[in-house]
Structure 1
Amino acid sequence: MISKKLYLPDFKFLFDTPILPYLIIAFGVAMRLIQYLANRSLWADEAVLALNIVNGSYLELLQPLDYDQGAPIGFLIVEKLAVQILGNNEYVLRFFPFICGVGSLFLFYELSKRLIPKSAIIIGLTLFASLPFLVYYSAEVKQYSSDVAIALLLYLLLLPLVQQKLNRGRIIKYSLVGATAIWFSHPSIFILASLGGSALLIDLWQKNSQKELDKIKQLLLIYSAWFLSFVIFYFVSLRNLTGNETLTTSWGSGFPSSPFDIIWMLDAFGKFFYKPLGFSKGIDGLAIVFFLLGCISFWLRRKEILLLLLSPLFMTFLASFLHQYPFRSRLVLFLTPYVIFLIAEGGSYILKKLKSRPIKIISIFLIILLLRQPLAKAIDLIEEPLNYSDIKPVLSYIKKHQQPGDILYVYQRGIYQFQYYAEKYGYQEGDYIIGVDDLDKYDGQELSITEMTRYEKDLDKLRGNKRVWLLFSHTHIPAERRFLNYYLNEIGLRIDTFEKPGSYVYLYDLS
Structure 2
Amino acid sequence: MATTAPATTHRLPAVRDLLRSNGLWLWLIVAAGSTLRLQQFIFNRSFWHDETLLATAFVDRGFAQLVFEPLANNQAAPVGYLVLVKLVTVLLGTHEWTLRLVSLLSGLATLPLALAVARLSFSSFVARATLVGLVAVSPVLVYYSTEFKQYQGDVLGTLLILWLTLRFRPDHCREDAFWLALAGAIGIWCSHAIDFVLAGSGLALWLEMARRRDRRAWLAVNAVGLVWLVSFVADYLVALRSVPHNAYLAGFWATSFAPIPPTTLADLHWFREAALGLVYLGFLQMGTAFREVLPGWFSGPVHALLALTVLGSVALAFQRVRAAAMGAITLMTVLGASALHQYPFRARLILFLVPFVFLALAALVQQLHELPLRRAAPWLAAGLAAGVLWMPLRLSLHVVRHPHNYQDIRGALQYIADHRQPGDHAMLGSWTYPAYSFYAPRTGLADLPRFVYQPTINEVHNIRSTVRRICQDPASGRTWVLATNQIVANNRAFLEALSSLSPPLQTVPLEGGALFLHDFRPTGYCQRYRSTFPPAGR
Matches within 5 A, 1:328-367: 328-353=346-371, 355=373, 364-367=382-385
Q: Percent identity?
A: 28
Does 1:510 find its partner at 2:515?
no
Q: Relative to structure 2, which stretch is displaced further, 60-69 or 488-497?
A: 488-497
Shift of residue 459 of structure 1? 3.2
Does 1:436 find its partner at 2:453?
yes
1:293·1:349 contact (CA, 8 Å) conserved in 2?
A: no
> Matches of 1:501 and 1:66 in 2, distance apart?
28
Shift of residue 27 of structure 1? 0.7
Shift of residue 504 of structure 1? 2.1
Q: Which has the larger radius of gyration?
A: 2
Match of 2:407 in 1: 389
- Aligned residue type for 1:115: S
Matches within 5 A, 1:183-332: 183-207=189-213, 212-260=214-262, 261-278=267-284, 281-332=299-350
Q: 1:356 to 1:142 in 2, by over 3 A?
A: same
- Aligned residue type for 1:504: A
> Matches of 1:125 and 1:174 in 2, distance apart?
22
> Matches of 1:263 and 1:296 in 2, distance apart?
23
Match of 1:150 in 2: 157
Does 1:51 find its partner at 2:56?
yes
2:424·2:479 contact (CA, 8 Å) conserved in 1?
A: yes
Q: Relative to structure 2, which stretch is displaced further, 55-64 or 241-250?
A: 55-64
Question: In the TM superposition, what whole-angstrom CA distance separates every residue of 1:434-489 from its partner, at most 9, and x where no partner exists?
Answer: 4134x5xxxxxxx624x553443233322365511112236368443x11111111
Q: 1:380 to 1:173 in 2, by over 3 A?
A: closer
Q: 1:476 to 1:226 in 2, by over 3 A?
A: farther
Of residues 478, 484, 488, the one that matches 2:498 is 488
2:168·2:177 contact (CA, 8 Å) conserved in 1?
A: no
SS at match of 1:220: helix
Of residues 446, 449, 463, the one that matches 2:471 is 463
> Matches of 2:381 and 2:112 in 1, distance apart?
28
Q: Where does the alignment leave 5 or more consecutive residues of structure 1 unmatched?
A: 1-12, 440-446
Match of 1:86 in 2: 92
Question: In the TM superposition, what whole-angstrom CA distance separates every residue of 1:228-256 from its partner, at most 9, and x where no partner exists?
Answer: 21112112211111111111211122212
Query: With structure 2 as the length reference, what TM-score do the two structures score?
Result: 0.84
Shift of residue 53 of structure 1? 2.2
Q: Relative to structure 2, which stretch is displaced further, 81-90 or 115-124?
A: 115-124
Match of 1:182 in 2: 188
- CA-based RMSD of the aligned residues comes to 2.5
Shift of residue 415 of structure 1? 0.8
Shift of residue 227 of structure 1? 0.9
Match of 2:141 in 1: 134
- Aligned residue type for 1:324: Q
Q: 1:499 to 1:223 in 2, by over 3 A?
A: same
Of residues 16, 24, 28, the one that matches 1:19 is 24
Match of 1:40 in 2: 45
SS at match of 2:314: helix
Query: With structure 1 as the length reference, what TM-score do the two structures score?
Result: 0.88
Shift of residue 286 of structure 1? 2.9
Q: 1:493 to 1:273 in 2, by over 3 A?
A: same
Q: 1:202 to 1:477 in 2, by over 3 A?
A: farther
Shift of residue 427 of structure 1? 2.5
- Aligned residue type for 2:85: E
Q: How many residues align?
A: 483
Shift of residue 61 of structure 1? 1.1
- Aligned residue type for 2:507: T
> Matches of 2:83 and 2:305 in 1, distance apart?
38
Q: 1:18 to 1:225 in 2, by over 3 A?
A: closer
SS at match of 1:218: helix
> Matches of 2:62 and 2:379 in 1, distance apart?
60
